[in-house]
């Protein structure tokens, strides 16, 4: 995890990034704490999903589906644990596991360094993440919830915008080759 | 162990992680009145196997029970057959008792409705051994106040008369015996003529002139002229009328079931007995009998052979 190397598949040339020791853990923990505390003081910040952004970022950067889905699972379960008794363990876990896997799978095939690509990917992943959550709510919890609406579209846009900016800052945590 | 290709390892891991979290969710989620989701899933997953297992087990057990485990079947069959026979016997006895109870009930009812008429009920304990005579033996005798030439009836009608009396039994000569009979008259026309036995199930009414109108189905009752039977006790019904010279040939079906008597009533007097089943004719009885006191004093022997 301390090296930067390249994946060469056919004509593609994709870089696999490594991060400073503890960077992943610290960033994930910070995102979780922020997600848990910020809405208490600023309710409108509940529109953000920083744990999801962290999952997407490290998934896209590490480009290893196994570690990506495991990281997503850990972050999701932690988010479940911090979300109170009304959210069962595994609710966000499943969603972020799927996103971790998809992000790292796509990151291994596409160059996701460009901000526009990142915006589009974050927006898409937010929608997929939301779809998984609605699926779980409907099928397992038997709770009716809208698949998509304007609020979610705005949330996807805001998260995509914020994620694009944050990703630029998080790029500094990468170890140079 | 089956080796998983490296390119599928992450996919396998994804599936495993998702399943693990789904199970985790299922353990926590509680559906209304259906328990935890994991339990619902477990039961739903096990149900087809349980059902098919139960079906298969039932089939196997059925095959075993019906085709192989027949060692005790013969014994069971025998026991059931014996039990069945015993039950049939019990049913037959119960039916007999029910019939007897019904008959005794009718007898009791008859006695109760004629409380003022001295009478005694008796059970038929024997019948004539041959076809030459038609007599029965009852379990009442001299000790019960029975004397010769007393009338014997059933609630249905006249039966015969007492011909022999012993201490505890008595013999009764039925109306159908060749020697039996009673003074009778047609119910509608009041035409009189003795009815006597022929040794056959049907009786014969004699001495009815050819010009008398007699219809099939007409009722015949006792006339009281024989000094044995009170007046207006049903004797039978006309079943056949043939012209004759100088008398008609009239065959009569007995009113009482003389071929299957089991209980009878012995009238200890010649007081009139009212048979309500005879459509109001009984009401005339008392007056009619009261009007013929001389007839009551006549000798009973007159009725032995009309």
Domains and CATH numbers, chain A: 19-173 (1.10.1760)
Q: How far is A100 from chain B (nearest CA, A)?
A: 10
Whether A49 has a pLDDT exceeding 90, the answer reads: yes
Give pTM, 2 decimals: 0.47
The tokens of A95 are what? 């969603």
Contact B222, B232 (CB under 8 A): yes
CA distances from B224 to A14, B15, B85, B184 (A): 137, 113, 51, 7
Whether B304 has a pLDDT exceeding 60, the answer reads: no
The share of chain B scoring above pLDDT 90, in percent, equals 26
Cβ contact B31–A64 (<8 Å): no
The long-range contacts involving A168-176, CB below 8 angstroms and separated by at least 24 positions, are A168/A115, A170/A27, A170/A57, A173/A19, A173/A20, A173/A23, A173/A27, A174/A4, A174/A17, A174/A18, A174/A19, A174/A61, A175/A2, A175/A3, A175/A4, A175/A17, A175/A18, A175/A19, A175/A20, A176/A4
CA distances from B290 to A169, B274, B294 (A): 140, 13, 9
**What is this model's ipTM?**
0.76
Digit-coded pLDDT (tens) for A1-27: 434 444 444 445 566 778 887 888 999
> By the CB < 8 Å criterion, does B11 face chain A?
yes
**Which of A9, A85, A87, A90 would you mutate first to test chain B, the one with the most B CBs within 10 A?**
A90
Cβ contact B18–A98 (<8 Å): yes
Digit-coded pLDDT (tens) for B26-70: 888 877 666 777 777 777 888 888 888 889 988 888 888 777 777
Partners of B21 on chain A (C-beta within 8 Å) are 73, 77, 89-90, 93-94, 97
Task: Please give the pLDDT value at position B272.
Answer: 62
Digit-coded pLDDT (tens) for A54-100: 999 999 888 888 989 999 999 999 998 888 777 888 999 999 999 99
- Band (pLDDT 50/70/90 cuts) for residue B271 is low
The bridge status of strand B35-36 relative to strand B219-222 is unpaired
Whether A53 has a pLDDT exceeding 90, the answer reads: yes
Cβ contact A90–B11 (<8 Å): no
Alpha-carbon gap, residue A2 to B147, rounded angstroms: 138
- Averaged pLDDT, B215-242: 91
Strand partners, B158: B153
Select B120-303's CATH number: 2.40.10.340, 3.30.450.70, 2.60.40.790, 2.60.40.420. Answer: 2.40.10.340
**Domain locations along chain B:** 120-303
Cβ contact B25–A98 (<8 Å): no
- Averaged pLDDT, A152-176: 91
Digit-coded pLDDT (tens) for B157-213: 999 999 989 888 899 999 998 889 999 999 888 899 999 998 888 999 999 988 888
Greater confidence (A157 vs B281) lies with A157
DSSP A21: T
Whether B287 has a pLDDT exceeding 60, the answer reads: no
Cβ contact B10–A69 (<8 Å): yes
Whether B282 has a pLDDT exceeding 70, the answer reads: no
DSSP assignments along B81-111, one per residue: HHHHHHHHHHHHHHHHHHHHHHHHHHHHHHH
Partners of B37 on chain A (C-beta within 8 Å) are 140
- Band (pLDDT 50/70/90 cuts) for residue A172 is confident
Task: Please give the pLDDT value at position A118.
Answer: 92
Residues of chain A in Cβ contact (below 8 Å) with chain B: 64-66, 69-70, 73, 77, 88-91, 93-94, 97-98, 101, 105, 136, 140-142
The share of chain A scoring above pLDDT 70, in percent, equals 90
- Band (pLDDT 50/70/90 cuts) for residue B146 is very high
- Band (pLDDT 50/70/90 cuts) for residue B273 is low
Task: Please give the pLDDT value at position B93.
Answer: 87
Task: Please give the pLDDT value at position B305.
Answer: 39
Task: Please give the pLDDT value at position B275.
Answer: 61
- Band (pLDDT 50/70/90 cuts) for residue B294 is very low
Query: How many residues are there in chain A?
Result: 177
Digit-coded pLDDT (tens) for B189-205: 889 999 999 888 899 99
Give Dmax over CA atoms of chain B in angstroms: 134
Q: How far is B5 from chain A (nearest CA, A)?
A: 14
Task: Please give the pLDDT value at position B276.
Answer: 54
Task: Please give the pLDDT value at position A177.
Answer: 58
**Which of B10, B36, B44 would you mutate first to test chain A, the one with the most A CBs within 10 A?**
B10
Q: Mean pLDDT lowest for which of B116-125, B236-245, B261-270, B272-281?
A: B272-281
Cβ contact A140–B29 (<8 Å): yes
Prior bond of B246 cis (ω within 30°): yes
- Averaged pLDDT, A138-165: 89
> By the CB < 8 Å criterion, does B17 face chain A?
yes
**Which of A59, A66, A75, A87 would you mutate first to test chain B, the one with the most B CBs within 10 A?**
A66
**Which of B9, B25, B41 would you mutate first to test chain A, the one with the most A CBs within 10 A?**
B25
């Amino acid at each position: 995890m301390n090296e930067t190397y390249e994946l060469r598949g056919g004509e593609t040339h994709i870089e696999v990034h490594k991060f400073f020791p503890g960077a992943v853990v610290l960033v994930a923990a910070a995102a979780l704490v922020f997600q848990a505390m910020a809405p208490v003081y600023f309710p409108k910040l509940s529109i953000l999903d920083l744990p999801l952004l962290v999952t997407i970022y490290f998934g896209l950067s590490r480009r290893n589906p196994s570690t990506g889905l495991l990281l997503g699972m850990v972050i999701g379960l932690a988010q479940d644990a911090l979300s109170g008794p009304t959210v069962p363990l595994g609710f966000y876990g499943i969603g972020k596991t799927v996103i971790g896997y998809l992000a790292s799978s796509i990151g291994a095939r596409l160059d996701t360094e460009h901000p526009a690509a990142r915006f589009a990917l974050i927006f898409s992943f937010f929608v997929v993440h939301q779809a998984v959550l609605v699926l779980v709510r409907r099928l397992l919890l038997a709770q009716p919830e809208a698949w998509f609406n304007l609020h979610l579209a705005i949330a996807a846009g805001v998260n995509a915008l914020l994620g694009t900016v944050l990703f630029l800052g998080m790029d500094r945590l990468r170890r140079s080759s | 162990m089956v080796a998983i290709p490296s390119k599928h390892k992450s996919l396998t891991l994804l599936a495993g992680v998702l399943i693990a979290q789904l199970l985790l969710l299922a353990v926590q989620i509680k559906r209304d009145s259906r328990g935890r989701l994991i339990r619902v899933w477990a039961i739903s997953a096990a149900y087809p196997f349980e059902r098919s297992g139960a079906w298969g087990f039932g089939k196997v057990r059925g095959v075993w029970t019906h085709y192989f485990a027949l060692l005790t079947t013969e014994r069971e069959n025998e026991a059931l057959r014996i039990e069945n026979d015993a039950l049939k016997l019990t049913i037959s006895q119960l039916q007999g008792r029910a019939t007897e109870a019904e008959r005794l009930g009718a007898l009791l009812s008859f006695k109760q409705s004629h409380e003022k008429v001295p009478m005694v009920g008796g059970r038929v304990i024997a019948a004539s051994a041959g076809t030459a005579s038609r007599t029965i033996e009852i379990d009442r005798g001299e000790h019960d106040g029975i004397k010769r030439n007393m009338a014997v009836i059933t609630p249905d009608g006249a039966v015969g008369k007492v011909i022999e009396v012993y201490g505890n039994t008595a013999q009764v000569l039925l109306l159908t015996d060749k020697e039996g009979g009673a003074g009778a008259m047609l119910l509608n026309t009041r035409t009189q003529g003795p009815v006597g036995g022929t040794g056959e199930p049907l009786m014969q009414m004699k001495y009815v002139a050819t010009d008398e109108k007699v219809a099939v189905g007409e009722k015949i009752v006792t006339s009281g002229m024989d000094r044995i039977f009170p007046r207006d006790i049903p004797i039978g019904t006309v079943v056949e009328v043939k012209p004759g010279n100088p008398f008609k040939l009239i065959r009569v079906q007995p009113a009482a079931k003389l071929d299957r008597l089991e209980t009878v009533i012995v009238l200890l007097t010649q007081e009139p007995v009212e048979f309500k089943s005879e459509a109001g004719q009984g009401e005339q009885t008392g007056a009619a009998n009261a009007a013929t006191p001389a007839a009551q004093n006549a000798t009973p022997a007159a009725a032995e052979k009309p």
